Amino acid sequence: MRISIAHTEGLGMLALSPFRVGVDVERVRALDVAEVEAPVLTAAERLAVRALPEGPSRTAAFLRCWTRKEAVCKALGIGITTDLTALESHGWSPGPAHTTTTALGSPRTWRMADVPVPEGWTASLALPAGADRPPSVRRLG
């Protein structure tokens, strides 16, 4: 079994899967998205996030992009050691999305999806696109 663990203020997540898996969770908090978006968001993500009014909805959209990217990096086993702007999260889409990355030298396609969490947090899960069984995800906290 493969595992991935994530935590933030007030909430933790544990994902178990027979496939490579990544999970990430963030507390939605006041954040100046304009200050932190450049090294994280692709051009398409910036357009989608900036189209939202400043405040909680823009912050939540940014954090959805962030958690999807971090989940993929965890599933790859590299953490955030790669250029995040090279990874398209499709964070404007509330449903599952696919992305392909060449981190570690070989292309691999990942399925990213939101994980249900209480209001005030956002969480994402990443699995190889061909994974045929859902992982077990547990909320801790």
Q: Which domains does the chain have, with CATH numbers?
A: 2-131 (3.90.470.20)
- Report the distance separating Cα 89 and Cα 27, nearest Å: 18
Q: Are 9 and 25 in contact (CB under 8 A)?
A: no
* Residue given tokens 């404007």 in the structure block: 92
**pLDDT tens figures, 76-135:** 888 777 788 888 888 877 778 888 777 655 558 888 999 999 999 999 999 998 888 777
Tell me what percent of the residues of the chain surpass a pLDDT of 90: 57
Across 74-93, b (16+ Cβ under 10 Å) vs e yields bbbeeeeebebbebbbbbbe
The pLDDT assigned to 37 comes to 93
Q: Are 23 and 140 in contact (CB under 8 A)?
A: no
Model pTM above 0.85: yes
